[in-house]
Structure 1
Amino acid sequence: MFEQLTQLAQQFGVDSVINNPSVPNDKNEAVIGEASNSVISGLQKIVSEGGMDQLAGLFQGNNAADSSNPVVQKLTQELSGNLGQKFGISANDASGVASKLIPQILGSLVGKAKDPNDSSFEISDIIGAISGGGDNAGIMDAITKYGGQFGLDQNGDGKVDMSDAMDAVTKKGGLGGMLGGLFGK
């Protein structure tokens, strides 16, 4: 997934990084790489701090590219700070790069993850990257909390739990389909 995220950063980085005189040409590639790192590390941090509500909100509707979205704001601030600290880019210039790049990357990432005709980003891959492939308890908590709203209560018992996951695996294309339902895919 990191490779696909880097491709998005490269795609959107042309205007905000490569054609930006505030970013030294010898640092273009590193700045684009830092944008990719900031998205993953920022989302991981949000999950580790219990921000599953915010993360679930990112995948609902079309607000992933909205600069007023709390997740977009956090990731923009993180990237801006990293660009200043790691590459010596002024705070104003770093903020300009981050505030343009992060909404574009997140908007495209979420759009592709929700598009059933685009397999370049799968919800399960995003969850794996965000959770570090390890403990998915926070993500399962969010599924339990929000799952009923998205029709994931497979057995109609009023809660979303492992029995629903098992039912989903046998009925609707597996756990990936269940997770896709949670995030609107």
Structure 2
Amino acid sequence: MLEQLTQLVQQFGGDAVVKNSAIPNDQNENVMNETSSSIFSGLQKIASEGGGEQLAALFKGNSIDNSNPVVQQLSQQLSGNLGEKFGLSSETSSGVAGSMIPQILNSLVNKAKDPNDGSFQISDIINAVTGNSGQASGIMDTISKYGMQFGLDQNADGKVDVADAVAIASKKGGFGSLLGKLFGK
């Protein structure tokens, strides 16, 4: 997952980092690498501190902005790291974090929600940030709970799983309809 996250950072780093005159050109790659690792470690920290509901809510939301608690926590961590490691001003560090993190998380979540894009799967993301621990199942349970609230349990077995996805995919509207219901579209 870190590799895919790094690709997203590279994609969105043009304006926030490369074209930013407050960041020396010879530091651009280091700043973007720090952005990737800060986001990844920040997500891991949220998961390890019991923030499963916050992470699950990311995948339920339609748009992620600077008011999201996960974005705020990741932005604060990244901003501090950029200032400490590269001597960037708090204004520059905050600007990079505030610009990139919502874009990256929106892209990550949209790719995970898109049935036609196999580059990110929600379960893979959750497993990566939790280190395949018991926290992963807790977060996936939370996501499943949201699915239950939206009536996605097609076979009435008390959980939202692959069998439910297959049942919905075979109905009119298909898998896109499942994701639309789950993620409020």
Please state which band the TM-score falls in when normalised by the shorter chain.
Answer: 0.7 to 0.9
**How many angstroms does 1:147 deviate by?**
3.7
Q: For residues 68 and 117 of structure 1, do their structure 2 counterparts lie closer, same or farther at Cα, with a shift above 3 Å needed?
A: same
Unaligned runs of 5+ in 1: none
Q: For residues 153 and 133 of structure 1, do their structure 2 counterparts lie closer, same or farther at Cα, with a shift above 3 Å needed?
A: same
Matches within 5 A, 1:38-117: 38-64=38-64, 66-117=65-116
Percent identity over the alignment?
A: 59
CA distance in 1: counterparts of 2:92 and 2:121, whole angstroms: 33
Contact residue 47 and residue 129 of structure 2 kept, 8 A = yes
**Cα distance per residue 1:129-182 (max 9 Å; x no partner):** 11112332432442454341144535425x43xxx6585598679xxx9xx859
CA distance in 1: counterparts of 2:48 and 2:109, whole angstroms: 20
Contact residue 123 and residue 183 of structure 1 kept, 8 A = no
Bigger shift: residues 48-57 or 78-87: 48-57
Unaligned runs of 5+ in 2: 170-174
Aligned to 1:127: 126
CA distance in 2: counterparts of 1:183 and 1:78, whole angstroms: 30
* TM norm structure 1: 0.81
CA distance in 1: counterparts of 2:56 and 2:182, whole angstroms: 7
* TM norm structure 2: 0.81
Coordinate RMSD, CA, aligned: 2.6
Contact residue 71 and residue 101 of structure 2 kept, 8 A = yes
| Paired letter, 2:14 | V
CA distance in 2: counterparts of 1:112 and 1:54, whole angstroms: 18
Q: Would you say how many aligned residue pairs link Structure 1 and Structure 2?
A: 175
Aligned to 1:118: 117
